[in-house]
Amino acid sequence: MNPYLDKLARLLRSRKFWAAIAGLIVAIFGARAGLDAQAITQAICAIVAYILGTALEDGLARRAQ
């Protein structure tokens, strides 16, 4: 398989990637959806925490192998 297609396939299966896309959508469309600045900030902070937690989980799982 082409290495670029393999990277793309891994990216599309990544929980961190989809969480980042969700954060981007919240940041762009949050105000248009009627969310105030505090709600948008809280949502983005929660998404960042999820991404960091997932990265930590992945890193520790690789380290344990």
- Judge whether residue 59 has pLDDT over 90: yes
CA atoms within 13 A on the CB side of 22: 14
How high does pLDDT run on average in the chain?
95
Which one, of 52, 1, 47, lies nearest residue 26 by Cα? 47
pTM of this prediction? 0.84
Confidence of residue 48 (pLDDT cuts 50, 70, 90): very high
Q: What is the per-residue pLDDT across 10-23, written as a single tens digit (0 to 9) for each?
A: 999 999 999 999 99
